[in-house]
Structure formats: structure tokens, C-alpha cells
């Protein structure tokens, strides 16, 4: 029999393992690396518009959700390898269209 104080369910366990500081630092790093690139600025604004906003950091948060994270990760890794290639390749276009 579970009591109200029982934190052993899966959701509570996931919350205990989540490192908010590491997540925040990683998102800040990604944003600092990308926000001045036209492709990412446009992408962040488009993603933010789903929340009726123009805040690019909200757009980044949208891109880091489950539906978009896998594709955003691929685009970001390609950007780190070759910043000049972003926006014209099929993966970048697919992500922009998906948002």
C-alpha cells in the first residue's frame, strides 16, 4: 500500500535524477554558440511563435522538447563541425519545416 509520502513511482524518480543546473548551462551554451547565426535566429523565432512569443530562448526550449530534440541535435552537431553549412542542407531544412 502506497502512502502520500511515497516517492518511489517512476515520475518522482526521474525528477530526482534531473540536473536542472546542467540542463540550464547546456542550453545557455547552445544559445551563445548559435543565436547570432541567421538560420538559428530564424529557427528560434519560428519555434517561439508556437507559444505566441518571439523570444529566441523560448524557441530553443521548444526545440529541446521530445518532438524536436533528435533533429535539433543533428543540426547542432553539424553546425559545430561546419558552421557555414547550416541552413542549406536537407536536415536543416527538414527541422525548419517541421517547426
pTM (2 d.p.): 0.78
**Taking Cα atoms as reference points, which of 61, 29, 67 lies closest to residue 44?**
61
Task: Give the pLDDT band (50/70/90) at residue 52.
Answer: very high
- Is residue 78, in this structure, part of any structural domain at all? yes
- Is residue 13, in this structure, part of any structural domain at all? no
- Is residue 72, in this structure, part of any structural domain at all? yes
Q: Which residues contact 47 (CB under 8 A, 6 or more apart)?
A: 58, 59, 60, 62, 63, 68, 99
Domains identified in the chain, total number: 1
Q: Which domain holds residue 34?
A: 21-98
Contact between 93 and 67 (Cβ < 8 Å): no
pLDDT over 70 at 13, yes or no: no
What is the residue-averaged pLDDT of the chain? 84
* pLDDT tens-digit series, residues 19-47: 677 778 888 999 999 989 999 999 999 99
- Is residue 68, in this structure, part of any structural domain at all? yes
Q: Angle at the Cα of 38 (from 34 to 41), degrees rounded to 5?
A: 60
Amino acid at each position: 500500500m502506497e502512502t502520500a509520502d511515497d516517492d518511489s513511482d517512476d515520475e518522482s524518480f526521474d525528477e530526482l535524477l534531473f540536473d536542472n543546473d546542467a540542463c540550464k548551462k547546456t542550453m545557455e551554451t547552445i544559445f551563445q554558440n548559435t543565436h547570432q547565426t541567421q538560420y538559428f535566429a530564424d529557427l528560434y523565432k519560428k519555434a517561439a511563435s508556437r507559444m505566441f512569443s518571439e523570444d529566441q530562448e523560448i524557441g530553443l526550449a521548444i526545440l529541446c522538447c521530445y518532438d524536436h530534440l533528435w533533429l535539433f541535435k543533428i543540426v547542432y552537431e553539424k553546425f559545430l563541425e561546419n558552421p557555414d553549412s547550416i541552413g542549406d542542407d536537407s536536415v536543416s531544412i527538414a527541422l525548419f519545416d517541421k517547426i
